[in-house]
């Protein structure tokens, strides 16, 4: 586990592996930061692992603000990735205002975004991947995707994931796993990815060792696959999101169950070692803290490629003999890990977390053509302007951001409610002041297969219960009980949260914003929200609610507010 004492060495490694140094900011400002600088790396060993995760179907470059609140509790308090903003800049030894500070922290986001531009884009990722393969040799490189690739955009929703399968195939992804993929439904995901007995439309292997049939406890998908690279056998074990069946409507995967299944992973690691594996990789969608705990309890895993929590760390965290890698989200980063194996052990390794700075990377022509082909039938609709923003709109963070406030305001106004609840989703791009808000931006923040904006009556006591339940999922000191997502976002009310308190004791001082009065436990309030797990709810899709509100407002401004007060200790 990375301790506070190790920050100095991590900071030094960060500056070396990102390849910018003190001159990085000046280089970009002078248009001198190019592909060669981003790819600067001294290779080592027999194999190169390339990892991307949580791209959420983002085909084109976008702005993406890192969280300013990412609270760790218990043993995780104060450790990466629970360090944000200026603290992250200092802890990782980043140069303030540099491209790596822009990539890894929320500090000065607006100014740095205007300096360094958008991030991500599948055509830019393709350029990086092709360049590394050309330099290292295809036979030494293994490209893996950590899941959450088929959801998060209009074209992914409209094509039920087919667009992203084409994109991942064009990138040459060799294996992937899942989370939001399952919200397409059991039948559809098997069409795209197959199951343990047959392949689907995708060329990539879908590995999910922890997904079992409820009735017979039989595996649904292939759990692992052996890849030969650089003269070594690499066993990749897939671990899908353990709480898929409780975090999303059960009706989407009614006959499957998930779970962490630690003991099963132990058995599988032993099995692949007996089968001749020189390197064991866990391709995980557990979330970083879960993977850190797992690495300390399961022997024999060389590398965990972590996903789900969208964390981006400049260096792997070492737990015993296991390297835990966090590669960010939204196509913003590509991880490269070179490994030298000797006598069944990692004898040497080098790592770089490559920021996909779109202005510095030429687009790959073949991927550009594919992205244009996918988007062309919808381009006019997606670019339609609904309003303009005078403030930075962002989402990622434990308690939400201005984009979440906008959604909550729209729900209250358009659904005639007192209080609004919006799910604690991490995905969705950011917008800078002066930008148009388009249909594409709305879908990037709302594109799910259960989008109904409900309106109902909820008693004050149950409101508190909802908040307590979500808080325990987020801030349980045992990572194995953290079921993913961030805190539910609220509109029309405020509350105090104590993340370090016990179950049922974290939430207090609930107040109705309109009147300033305390929420009455016995009174019913008109509440609106979306993303409910319940069946039979009625209402318009949330994207229509938000679009109508934006048309009425025309300009978005003045929505920064504090609905949550955080008290530690």
pLDDT at 24 over 70: no
State the pLDDT at residue 398. Answer: 93
Indicate the DSSP class of residue 488. P
d(CA 521, CA 518): 9
Q: Averaged over 334-346, what is the pLDDT?
A: 96
Tell me how far apart the terminal alpha carbons of the chain are, to the nearest angstrom: 23
* CA neighbor of 332 nearest in space, from 50, 62, 7: 62
3-state SS class at 489: strand
Q: Averaged over 131-139, what is the pLDDT?
A: 97
d(CA 331, CA 59): 8
| Mean pLDDT taken over the chain | 93
State the pLDDT at residue 378. Answer: 98
Contact 324, 8 (CB under 8 A): no
d(CA 487, CA 49): 33
State the pLDDT at residue 23. Answer: 47
d(CA 72, CA 426): 16
Q: Which residue has the tokens 């977390």?
A: 353
439-446 vs 402-415: helix crossing angle, rounded to 10: 100
Percentage of the chain beyond pLDDT 90 is 91
pLDDT at 163 over 80: yes
State the pLDDT at residue 34. Answer: 84
pLDDT digits (tens, 9 = 90+) for 512-556: 999 999 999 999 999 999 999 999 999 999 999 999 999 999 999
Indicate the DSSP class of residue 66. P
State the pLDDT at residue 249. Answer: 96
Contact 175, 225 (CB under 8 A): yes
DSSP string, 336-377: EEEEEEETTEEEEEEEEEEE-BGGGSPPPHHHHHHHHHHHGG
pLDDT at 130 over 70: yes
pLDDT at 21 over 70: no
pLDDT digits (tens, 9 = 90+) for 88-112: 999 999 999 999 999 999 999 999 9
Residue 468 to residues 287, 382, 496, Cα–Cα distance (Å): 21, 38, 11
542-553 vs 402-415: helix crossing angle, rounded to 10: 90
Q: What's the CA dihedral at 525, 526, 529, 531 to 10 degrees?
A: 80
Q: What is the 3-state secondary structure (H, E, C) of 139-185?
A: HHEEEEECCCCCCCCHHHHHCCCHHHHHHHHHHCCCEECCCHHHHHC
pLDDT at 322 over 70: yes
DSSP string, 241-266: -TTHHHHS-GGGSTTEE----HHHHH
Q: Averaged over 38-56, what is the pLDDT?
A: 97
d(CA 447, CA 440): 10
Which domains are assigned to the chain?
34-62+118-373 (3.60.21.10), 383-566 (3.90.780.10)
The DSSP bridge partners found for residue 360 are none
* CA neighbor of 528 nearest in space, from 463, 464, 446: 463
Q: Decide the pairing of beta strands 564-566 and 493-497.
A: parallel
Q: Decide the pairing of beta strands 453-459 and 524-530.
A: antiparallel
DSSP string, 195-256: -SSS--S-SSEEB-TT-EETTT--BSSB-EEEEEETTEEEEEEEE--TTHHHHS-GGGSTTE
Sheet containing 317-319: give its strands across: 224-229, 232-239, 279-284, 303-306, 322-326, 317-319
Which carries the bigger pLDDT value, residue 12 or residue 43? 43
**Of the ranges 335-339, 371-375, 563-567, which one carries the lowest mean pLDDT score?**
563-567
* CA neighbor of 66 nearest in space, from 247, 329, 264: 329
Contact 119, 148 (CB under 8 A): no
Q: For 489, phi and psi rounded to 5 degrees?
A: -90, 145
Contact 134, 43 (CB under 8 A): no
Q: Which residue has the tokens 């330099």?
A: 135
Which positions ≥6 away from 111 have C-beta within 8 Å? Answer: none
> How far is it between the farthest Cα atoms of the chain?
69
pLDDT at 144 over 60: yes
Contact 32, 125 (CB under 8 A): no
User: What burial class does residue 490 get, using C-beta atoms within 10 Å of its C-beta: 0-12 exposed, 13-18 middle, 19+ buried?
Assistant: buried
State the pLDDT at residue 484. Answer: 73
State the pLDDT at residue 31. Answer: 52
State the pLDDT at residue 404. Answer: 95
- Segment holding 49, helix H or strand E: strand 47-52
* CA neighbor of 429 nearest in space, from 545, 310, 533, 336: 310
State the pLDDT at residue 521. Answer: 97
> What pTM did the predictor assign?
0.94
pLDDT digits (tens, 9 = 90+) for 176-219: 999 999 999 999 999 999 999 999 999 999 999 999 999 999 99
* CA neighbor of 417 nearest in space, from 456, 463, 451: 456
Q: Averaged over 226-241, what is the pLDDT?
A: 98
pLDDT at 14 over 90: no
DSSP string, 307-330: -SS--B-SSPEEETTEEEEEB-ST
Q: Averaged over 11-35, what is the pLDDT?
A: 51
pLDDT at 84 over 80: yes
3-state SS class at 281: strand
d(CA 165, CA 178): 13
State the pLDDT at residue 569. Answer: 80
pLDDT digits (tens, 9 = 90+) for 254-310: 999 999 999 999 999 999 999 999 999 999 999 999 999 999 999 999 999 999 999
């Amino acid at each position: 586990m990375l301790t506070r004492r190790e920050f100095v060495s991590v900071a030094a490694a960060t500056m070396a592996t990102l390849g910018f140094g003190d001159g990085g900011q000046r280089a970009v400002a002078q248009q001198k930061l190019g592909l060669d600088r981003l790819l600067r790396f001294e290779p080592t060993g027999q194999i190169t692992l390339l990892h991307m995760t949580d791209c959420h179907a983002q085909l084109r470059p976008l702005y993406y603000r890192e969280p300013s609140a990412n609270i760790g509790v218990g043993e995780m308090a104060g450790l990466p990735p629970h360090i944000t903003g200026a603290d992250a800049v200092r802890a990782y030894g980043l140069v303030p205002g540099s491209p790596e500070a822009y990539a890894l922290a929320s500090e000065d986001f607006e100014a740095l975004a205007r300096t360094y531009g958008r991030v991500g884009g599948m055509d830019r990722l393709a350029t990086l991947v092709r360049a590394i393969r050309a330099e290292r040799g295809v036979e030494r490189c293994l490209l893996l995707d950590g899941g959450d690739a088929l959801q998060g955009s209009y074209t992914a929703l409209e094509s039920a994931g087919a667009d992203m399968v084409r994109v991942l195939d064009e990138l040459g992804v060799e294996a992937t796993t899942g989370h939001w993929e399952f919200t397409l439904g059991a039948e559809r995901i098997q069409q795209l990815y197959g199951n343990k007995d047959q392949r689907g439309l995708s060329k990539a292997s879908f590995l999910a060792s922890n997904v079992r049939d409820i009735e017979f406890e039989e595996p649904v998908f292939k759990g692992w696959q052996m890849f030969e690279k650089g003269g070594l056998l690499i066993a990749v074990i897939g671990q899908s999101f353990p709480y898929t069946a409780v975090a999303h409507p059960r009706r989407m995967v009614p006959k499957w169950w998930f779970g962490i299944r630690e003991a099963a992973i132990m058995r599988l690691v032993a099995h692949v070692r007996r089968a001749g594996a020189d390197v064991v990789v866990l391709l995980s969608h557990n979330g970083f803290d879960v993977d850190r705990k797992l690495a300390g309890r399961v022997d024999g895993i060389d590398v965990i490629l972590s996903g789900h929590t969208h964390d981006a760390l400049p260096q792997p965290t070492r737990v015993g003999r296991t390297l835990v890698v966090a590669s960010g989200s939204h196509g913003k980063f590509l991880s490269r890990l070179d490994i030298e194996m000797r006598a069944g052990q990692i004898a040497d390794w080098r790592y770089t977390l490559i920021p996909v700075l779109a202005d510095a990377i030429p687009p790959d022509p073949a991927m550009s053509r594919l992205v244009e082909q996918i988007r062309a039938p919808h381009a006019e609709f997606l670019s339609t302007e609904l309003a303009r923003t005078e403030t930075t709109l962002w989402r990622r963070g434990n308690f939400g951001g201005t984009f979440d406030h906008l959604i909550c305001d729209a729900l209250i106004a358009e659904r005639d409610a007192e209080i609004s609840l919006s799910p604690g989703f991490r995905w969705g791009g950011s917008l800078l002041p002066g930008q148009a808000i388009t249909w594409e931006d709305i879908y990037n923040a709302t594109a799910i297969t259960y989008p109904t904006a409900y309106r109902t009556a909820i008693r004050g006591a149950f409101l508190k219960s909802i908040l307590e339940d979500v808080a325990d999922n987020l801030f349980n000191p045992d990572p194995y009980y953290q079921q993913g997502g961030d805190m539910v976002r609220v509109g029309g009310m405020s509350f105090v949260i104590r993340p370090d308190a016990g179950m049922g004791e974290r939430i207090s001082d609930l107040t109705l914003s309109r009147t300033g009065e305390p929420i009455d436990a016995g009174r019913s309030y008109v509440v609106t929200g979306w993303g409910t797990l319940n069946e039979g709810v009625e209402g318009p899709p949330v994207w229509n609610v938000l679009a109508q509100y934006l048309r009425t407002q025309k300009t978005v401004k003045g929505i920064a507010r504090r609905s949550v007060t955080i008290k530690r200790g």
